Every structure is written in C-alpha cells, then in structure tokens.
Amino acid sequence: MEELAPRTEDEVRAHLAAGKLVEGLQHMSPEYLKGIRRILTVSADTELVSAPAYLRAAAHAPALNNFGSAVSIIQDELAHAHIGYRLLGDLGVDMPALIYEREPNAFKYPYAFDVPLDSWYELVLANALYDQAGFVLLSDVHQSSTFGPWKRALAKVDKEETFHLRHGRTWVKKFAADPDHKVKLQASLDWMFILTLEWFGLPDERKKHGIQLEYGFKGKSNDELRQDWMGHVVPFVEEVGLHVPAHFDEQTQRYVIDCPFPQQFDSEKKAWGGTEISWDDVLVRWKARGPMNETYVARLQKGYRG
Amino acid sequence: MIWEVFARKAYEDPLHHVGTVTESDEDLALVSARSIYDEQPWIHMIIVPREAIREAIKP
C-alpha cells in the first residue's frame, strides 16, 4: 500500500480540507487507499451478485415483456458493478482475480442477497426494497464521496436505480390492489423488510465510523442511512395497504422499529423467529453467508473457470 | 491495455468522460466501449489509449 499511495495521512487531510477531490493514487495515503478499496469492493460485489439473484427470480416473469424489463435491470446492475471494479483496477487491484478467483465467502455484499428470490413478487419487492437501499447508500456516496472518479460515475447509477425502483413500486402497487396477490406479496414483504433493515449494518453505538466519515467515503452513519431508507419505504408500503413493523414517531421525528431487532432468522424457511438476538449473533450469520452464496458466485465465475 | 471512453449525446454538447474499458486491441476496445456504455443514445463516442494522454494541468 505504501508504494502505491504516496501521501501521508496529514497530506490527505489538508487536501480534503482545501475542498479538493482525490483523483487517483497520487493523492492517496495508505489509509485512504485501504478505505476506498473496501467500500468500492462492497459496492461492486453487491451490484454483481444482484445479477444472478434477480435472474433466478426473473424466470417467474408473468410475460415475456416483463422478463425483458427484468433482464434490462440485470444488465444495469452488471454495468454498475463494472464501474466499481474498473475503479478498483485503477487502484492497483487485480480485477479479474478479484471477480473470478475469490472464494464465495470472500465476497462482500449484504446477507439479504444470500436468501433466494423465488417469485415475481419477491423480484419486484427486491426492486422496491433492496434497490431503494442501494439508492440511499449510493446517493450518499454521490453527494459526499471525496473520490472524484467514483462521484462522477455515480450520476449514471442514480438515474438507472430510479428506473429499478419505479419498476418495483409499479408492480407492488398493482399486486397490492388485488386481494389474492396482496396476501402473497405481504408474505414476502414480511421476511424481506427486516432483512433490508440489516442491510445498513451495525448500529452507530456499535460501529465507529471515524475514518469513513472523516475521509468522506460516505457522508451519513449506518443509523442515519437506515432512517433514510425507512423514510422512503414505510410511507410507500402503507399507502398501498401493506404492513411493515415500523412507524414514524412524531415526538422524536424518527422511524421506530416495532419488532425485535436484530432478530433470529431461518434462512431455509425464509422466516423470522420472533426472538431478539445480539449483533454478535448477526455477525456470525453474516460471516457464515446464506444459502445462495456459493451458487451465485459459481454462476458468475463459471465462464472464467471453464 | 486501458482505453478512456468519451461520448456526447447532443450536437451542442462537448465530449465528456464516461468510463474506461480494458482490452488488448483496438477492435475489441471499440466493441466493448459501445456495449458497456450503451446507457444513453449517444451521437458520438471515441476511445483513447490511456498511455497517450498527457496532463497539461494536474488536479
């Protein structure tokens, strides 16, 4: 890292304090490089693994043109992943090795994608919930990132994620208006909502963001981002007559989660156990990865390994 | 080999940087650029080998 990133930590701080963006390795210190590589890897891995996850669910498309929309979303996700990986390539990472030679459990994406999406209901909910989470996280990066090449590239991502969200919301609205569809939609929402709450990571009291915020890899803390996400999702699902275990508290002006959280999860049954667990328990589940991790990574790496 | 990709979607627009492609030869780089950066109805796209770029003013 030292040879690649020539600046000292103090020089990076001075550069940022002067209102400049970091444009490449020449402006980075080892700590900056380490941090920006980490967040770019998480972002690119998340976009990449969404492709096999969505493709699996797209098989349930009600008609060919709906399948076409799903595939076009998947194509966007691959292009977003490419942005992250090509920037990592510029930061001295061996891009093909990173994508094609890593072990499945070394990929860094939210646990939610390790749980299979098994219906068109779950695909469109993923668009409405997971893509909303991605949108909240990337909008924050777009606004706050101090890494110029990424900040500029995200203009395109923002625009396309809006389309994914609209796709999800349009279908959710349509299904929620029909009593039979609504029951199935609610059943999927029950496991997917809480799993997306986990997407934003450990609560602020458990996670020290120090350098992530100081160096401007992101602008908001995990809990602030979780709040942002609920601010988009909760009013929408209520509007279409669905239910989620969260509400807006007028007094504190914050969303409150109305169920044990974090909670024990059965990934095979895709069901919450109702028992509150510790974040340490959640970390154990995340680290072990979920049911689809190996299948999805094998699918992504298949052509390369021959 | 890394190629920088520039494009524009209107006649009054200047070319602007849209990303990079990594390909061993020019023909593959042209195909990659067109297929990877197809998110807009571009009217013009060019690719430039990164090694041909010289910075007159550095950021």
Alpha carbon A217 to chain centroid, angstroms = 15
Residue A40 has pLDDT above 90, yes or no: yes
> Would you say A21 and A216 are in contact if contact means Cβ atoms under 8 Å apart?
no
| Mean pLDDT of the region A139-166 | 90
CA distance A119 to A53: 11
Distance from CA of B29 to the nearest CA of A (A): 14
> Would you say B47 and B4 are in contact if contact means Cβ atoms under 8 Å apart?
yes
Percentage of chain A lying above the pLDDT 90 cut? 89
CA distances in angstroms from B51 to A9, A111, A268, A278, B18, listed in the order given: 29, 40, 51, 52, 17
pLDDT score of A306: 56
Contact residues, chain B, for A156 at CB < 8 Å? 18, 39
pLDDT score of A213: 84
Percentage of chain B lying above the pLDDT 90 cut? 86
Residue B20 has pLDDT above 90, yes or no: yes
State pLDDT tens for residues A10-30. Answer: 999 999 999 999 999 999 999
Q: Supply B23's token pair.
A: 């390909």
* Across A20-29, A155-164, A179-188, least confident range: A155-164
Contact residues, chain B, for A82 at CB < 8 Å? 19, 36
B22 part of contact set with chain A, CB < 8 Å: yes
Contact A79 B36 (CB under 8 A): yes
Contact residues, chain A, for B17 at CB < 8 Å? 152
pLDDT score of A282: 97
Contact residues, chain A, for B39 at CB < 8 Å? 76, 79, 156, 159-160
| Mean pLDDT of the region A179-204 | 97
CA distances in angstroms from A23 to A12, A225, A235, A298, B58, listed in the order given: 12, 26, 39, 34, 10
Distance from CA of B7 to the nearest CA of A (A): 13
Over chain A, what is the mean pLDDT?
Answer: 95
Distance from CA of B36 to the nearest CA of A (A): 7
pLDDT score of A270: 97
Domain boundaries, chain A: 9-305
Model confidence at A157, in pLDDT bands (50, 70, 90)?
confident
> Would you say A208 and A35 are in contact if contact means Cβ atoms under 8 Å apart?
no
Distance from CA of B44 to the nearest CA of A (A): 18
Contact B22 A90 (CB under 8 A): no
B1 part of contact set with chain A, CB < 8 Å: no
pLDDT score of A209: 67
For B36, the closest of A27, A82, A153 (CB atoms) is A82
| Mean pLDDT of the region A61-80 | 95
Alpha carbon A213 to chain centroid, angstroms = 18
The tokens 């780089």 sit on which residue? B29
State pLDDT tens for residues A136-151. Answer: 999 999 999 999 999 9
State pLDDT tens for residues A202-253. Answer: 999 987 767 888 898 889 999 999 999 999 999 999 999 999 999 999 999 9
Percentage of chain A lying above the pLDDT 70 cut? 99
Q: Supply A187's token pair.
A: 């059943």
CA distance B20 to B32: 9
CA distance A288 to A291: 10
How many CA within 13 A on the CB side of residue A48?
Answer: 26
Percentage of chain B lying above the pLDDT 70 cut? 100
Q: Which residue has the higher pLDDT, A177 or A304?
A: A177
Mutate to test the interface with B, among A80, A156, A161 (most CBs of B within 10 A): A156
| Mean pLDDT of the region A66-72 | 96
Q: Supply A9's token pair.
A: 């930590």
Q: If we measure between CA atoms, which residue out of A107, A108, A115, A105 comes closest to residue A56?
A: A115
| Mean pLDDT of the region A151-161 | 84
Contact B36 A152 (CB under 8 A): no
B39 part of contact set with chain A, CB < 8 Å: yes
| Mean pLDDT of the region B35-53 | 93
Amino acid symbol at A137:
L
Q: What is the CATH number of domain A9-305?
A: 1.20.1260.10
ipTM above 0.85, yes or no: no
Task: Find residue B48's DSSP bridge partners.
Answer: B4
Residue A305 has pLDDT above 70, yes or no: no
pLDDT score of A158: 80
| Mean pLDDT of the region A160-170 | 92
